[in-house]
Structure 1
Amino acid sequence: MSIRYVRGPRRAGAAVLLAATLTLSMAACGSDDGNGKGKEPSSSSAPAKEKETGSADGEAVPDTSKILVTVKGDSGIDMVINSAKRDSGGFLTVSGQLKNTGSGLYTTPIQWNGEEEAVASTGRSLAAMTLVDSQEKKRYYVLRDTDNRPLTTSGYDPSIEAGKSLTFFAQFPAPAQSTSQVDLQFPGFTNATIEIS
């Protein structure tokens, strides 16, 4: 009989503990604003890519005060490489500008998108850009995200007005630490040898 009296308080205590645990768990998961939507994540939890952006369209803005190389292309378009930086995650990000130095409208070629069918549905991009490490005899392609979108400037206008430029970035796997320079290849331009920082 005494066992029944002991079990009752134990069950009640377990129920109180379970209710307290659930309450704390729900509070830890975030608050609700009353319409079924939780609070937006704070800026401190934004992805690193978003933190580095500085332009209205969400693309990274390169430091144009330094020029690694300028390559002349077809019909008055120049490719200016401003930086090629390694990061701690094992990536290499190349950034620069495609400048229309001609007097007329420059229509961006479809070849800039690359030939892969997997990225064709992502629209305009610079997925055709590649890096060649002559020392290690390796070629690197623009990385893709989990939805197979290339990690490069995309969704840009189909043309560049005279005197205007298209700011770009492209992210690649980083070459070996012993590699200090690579050749950037892009349709319509000659090879551009760039120093890695």
Structure 2
Amino acid sequence: MSMRHMRTMGRVRAAAALSAVLVFSLAACGGGSEDPKPGEAASSPAKNEGDKETSADPVASTPSEPIAVIKGDAGLELSVFSARRDEGGFLTLDGQIKNTGSEGFTVPVQWNGLEQSVASTGRSFAGMTLVDSKGKKRYYVLRDTDNRPLTTYAYGSFIEGGGTLPFFAQFPAPPVDTTTVALQFPGFPSASIELS
């Protein structure tokens, strides 16, 4: 067997091993044994008042006290219950958006972000970003191998007055010495949140 052939086989084995590690990593952070199909909720369904469509529940149960509350347009209130670092270099945000007004709120398309690549996912929180001013970096919601954002998606288009929409969003984790980041989401002012 020639040296060239042996080098090629070595590269093929290395690529196969890397692919297996990536598939395992994505399965481990997916939170379930089955990938959701486009148009289905990204995790267990929760009732979104006033709408028959499903919305995804945060991955973990949310504590009673939020670490940040941001007041936005049209009486909306964005609460962040946790911003925790996960194994593998990820940062997961859990929270909810509440319509504190008496009238219903139609979810704006800006929440989905501007990327064409996630347009097929439909409604999502892909427009959410984190800014690390210390490290001078902006972090976007991660994508899976099918280019679906790793965040709540396929939720209802309308939030009734007094209704809530739970969400989660997963980002690359900033360096360990970064303890706070600015959360930016369309329709809400930028707010600082502490990482755990």
Superposition map of 1:73-152 within 5 A: 73-152=72-151
Compared CA separation, residues 70 and 47, structure 1 to 2 (3 A): closer
Look up the match of 2:32: 50
Compared CA separation, residues 47 and 192, structure 1 to 2 (3 A): closer
Listed as ranges, the gaps of 5+ residues in structure 2 are 1-26, 34-42, 47-53
Is the partner of 2:64 in helix, strand or coil?
A: coil
Q: Is residue 54–residue 61 contact of structure 1 (8 Å, CA) maintained in 2?
A: no
CA distance in 1, matches of 2:118, 2:31: 20
Look up the match of 1:169: 168
How big is the shift at 1:90?
0.4
CA distance in 1, matches of 2:88, 2:170: 11
One-letter code of the match for 1:168?
Answer: F
How many aligned residue pairs are there?
A: 152
Radius of gyration: which is bigger? Answer: 1
One-letter code of the match for 1:152?
Answer: T
Q: Higher relative CO (CA 8 A, sep ≥ 6), structure 1 or 2? A: 2
Is the partner of 1:153 in helix, strand or coil?
A: coil
Spell out structure 1 runs of 4+ moving beyond 6 A. Answer: none
Compared CA separation, residues 117 and 181, structure 1 to 2 (3 A): same
Look up the match of 2:187: 188
Is the partner of 1:146 in helix, strand or coil?
A: coil
% same residue: 57
CA distance in 1, matches of 2:60, 2:190: 23
Look up the match of 1:21: none
Q: Is residue 140–residue 173 contact of structure 1 (8 Å, CA) maintained in 2?
A: yes
How big is the shift at 1:192?
1.4
More strand by share: 2
Listed as ranges, the gaps of 5+ residues in structure 1 are 1-44
CA distance in 2, matches of 1:174, 1:87: 8
Is the partner of 1:121 in helix, strand or coil?
A: helix
Is the partner of 2:188 in helix, strand or coil?
A: coil
How big is the shift at 1:62?
3.9
CA distance in 2, matches of 1:55, 1:146: 22
CA distance in 2, matches of 1:72, 1:111: 17
CA distance in 2, matches of 1:88, 1:152: 17
One-letter code of the match for 2:139?
Answer: Y
* Cα root mean square deviation, aligned: 1.9
Look up the match of 2:6: none
